[in-house]
Amino acid sequence: MTMKKRSESAETYELKTWRDFPPMNISMGTMLHNMTGSWRFIKPIYEDKVPACQNACPAGNDIEGWIKLVQKGEYDKAYWHLKREQPFPAILGRICFRFCEASCNRAHLDDFVGINELERFVGDRVELSTPHPDVPEYNGKKLAVIGSGPAGMSAAYYGRLLGFRVTMFEMLPEMGGILRVGIPAYRLPREVVAEEFKGLKNMGIELMPNTSVGKDITLNELRDDYDYIFLATGVHESAKLDLKGEDESDLIMSGLGMLKKVALGEDVDLGKRVAVIGGGNTAIDAARTSVRLGSKVIVIYRRSETEMPAHPAEVEEAREEGVEFRFLAAPENIEINNDGNIERLVCCKMELGPPDESGRRRPVKKEGALFEVETDSILTAIGEIPAFDYLKGIVKTENRVVEVNEGMQVKTADEGGAKIFAGGDIIDMPHTVVHAVAAGKKASIVMDCDRKGTDFSEVFKKIAIGDGRALSFSKYMGWAPVNPVSQNNEKVVDSEKIVYDYFIKASQVDKKVVNADARRGSFDAYGKTFDEDQAQKEAARCMHCGRCTECDNCLIFCPDVSVLVRGEGQFGYAIDYDYCKGCGICFTECPRNAITMIAEEISIQVDDLQ
């Protein structure tokens, strides 16, 4: 007897399985009278789970969901679905450090899916100034966001979606914080940041550039005027080398300071040779910017390349552009002549000792192993520190960070006025843009819980994703998933749960990039966004881990034909438990682990035991 396929006309759904034939067929040798489901002690259920990529994203980005919409060509829907959990895809699609790709299960087959490139594609499909289509009425509460970097942007965005009347304060003339003045334009074009702020403004968020909290307005004044405050001032000052001569020349400056000057259009003359001290992302950005200003650059780092905190891809691109690296070396002495020029930069060779508190091996000086580096200017990038003068002792800090509880709320010297929260680089968390975005989202949810009088810790249990690193704003808001099926946000589908035999190897889409020679002389963005054909090919590589794709494996392999195709316009399958024996073949053959076996509830009468 013929099974009706999903691709046929609606009329074929009148007969879904062989059990739908007239009763006379029972006398023709069938086993319809034998409801084998009574044998079952476990049973399969359909439930979508958390893909490994989403679990690895600090913001809980529903990557599989919006990639599925990309595959369907529904790009606008993909954009707004993506923005549920990570609201700035045009920014993060360019500068995120791609924790998702590092956990992509596809890498065990051939290579990870280019999630970051696809996110950028989605982010560039819609005008960034477009306001969110579902902005609610105001809820009667006011939120002040101090600082307009990624954490502040996120808190403002989610705060407005929760109905808060939001005002953002920024001391610089341009909104964007570190995104605007700390990340070079060749990585993140200025117009992208500017357009994102137009979008925030069009949502009803008030923007206040050139407004310094602590000078133009005090924190206490904000506490009197607002119900909630979110601190997101970032870290914009650089740690000192503590060497003699460091403060005696204008040719010795912080990497952040130099990046800020370039970003704001100021003239910067570094000379022919630049030495960058440090091994983090700021050091690499400073080095690559110096190359574009026409200097020959050497990066001096006290540990080996293995311990270097900068993103490996950025380090490799810096090499391609001509940046030299000297590892296991540290500055020892700086000599400045009477004209304020650098006479000598003396460095000492280092070796690695036991691990320090960071877990990396501690650099130890080699006695007498000195050498000189010829340079016209020195850029320091050994760590950034926050400026907390504006807090005036109202907010408690320790070890250069603002102390926060599990709900991102800070400890204050008194209980008066607005409740204060904090996020981003000024709290104890990884200093990445996506972590900052996650902090802003988390804080906004807690503020809304406080407004409602709800225990946020109980809410967190319900909306946590996977291992709990991220929270689902969609789940908090009650927004429907892409697949209209049961969701299990606690179970993570890693590579051990994927049946790779059902997937064909396919290489990443080859994306051409501007060569190093062309990059060196320009601050123009050199990464190009996927075209539609490239995006479709790369999206097709997604295995949709943990999510049903209606591949029909369960339908085909079920020995009892107890898997039923749902009717026209409905998604997925149903199971006829009268005949399902709980053999688990559907579970075993599901390529993506979208089926779960659970214990059967068995009711036994007392009389049956006598």
Confidence of residue 24 (pLDDT cuts 50, 70, 90): very low
Lowest mean pLDDT among 11-25, 268-282, 310-324: 11-25
Confidence of residue 310 (pLDDT cuts 50, 70, 90): very high
Query: Between 8 and 273, where is the model more confident?
Result: 273
Q: Three-state SS for 587?
A: helix
pTM for this entry: 0.91
Instruction: Tell which CATH classification among 3.90.550.10, 3.90.1150.200, 3.50.50.60, 1.20.58.100 matches the domain 142-236+386-453.
Output: 3.50.50.60
Asked if 335 contacts 246 with a C-beta cutoff of 8 angstroms, the reply is: no
CA distance 336 to 246: 9
Give me the pLDDT at residue 33, please. Answer: 60
Domain boundaries, the chain: 35-126+462-610, 142-236+386-453, 237-384
Q: What is the tens place of the pLDDT at every residue in 374-408?
A: 999 999 999 989 999 999 999 999 889 999 999 99
CA distance 115 to 52: 13
pLDDT more than 70, % of the chain: 93
292 has pLDDT over 90: yes
Residue-wise burial string across 355-384, b where 16 or more C-beta atoms lie within 10 A, e elsewhere? eeeeeebbbeeeeeeeeebebbbbbbbbeb
CATH homologous superfamily of 237-384 equals: FAD/NAD(P)-binding domain (3.50.50.60)
Lowest mean pLDDT among 29-43, 134-148, 251-265: 29-43
Give me the pLDDT at residue 13, please. Answer: 33
CA distance 325 to 305: 9
543 has pLDDT over 70: yes
Give me the pLDDT at residue 3, please. Answer: 37
- Give DSSP secondary structure letters for 479-525: PPPSS-S-EEEEEEE-GGG--GGG----PPP------HHHHHT--S-
Q: Which two tokens stand for residue 424?
A: 């981003």
Asked if 92 contacts 187 with a C-beta cutoff of 8 angstroms, the reply is: no
Q: Three-state SS for 142?
A: strand
Q: Three-state SS for 150?
A: helix
Q: What is the tens place of the pLDDT at every residue in 231-277?
A: 999 998 889 998 988 888 999 999 999 999 999 999 999 999 999 99
Give me the pLDDT at residue 32, please. Answer: 58
CA distance 312 to 367: 31
Give me the pLDDT at residue 26, please. Answer: 44
Asked if 558 contacts 582 with a C-beta cutoff of 8 angstroms, the reply is: no
Confidence of residue 78 (pLDDT cuts 50, 70, 90): very high
Mean pLDDT across the chain, nearest whole number?
91
CA distance 482 to 439: 25
Query: Between 405 and 36, where is the model more confident?
Result: 405
Asked if 206 contacts 167 with a C-beta cutoff of 8 angstroms, the reply is: yes
| Same fold yes or no, 142-236+386-453 and 237-384 | yes
Distance of CA 375 to the CA centre of its chain: 38
Q: What is the tens place of the pLDDT at every residue in 547-587?
A: 999 999 999 999 989 999 988 888 999 999 999 999 999 99
pLDDT more than 90, % of the chain: 81
Query: Between 358 and 526, where is the model more confident?
Result: 526
Enumerate the β-bridge partners of residue 334: 345
Lowest mean pLDDT among 211-215, 240-244, 262-266, 321-325: 240-244
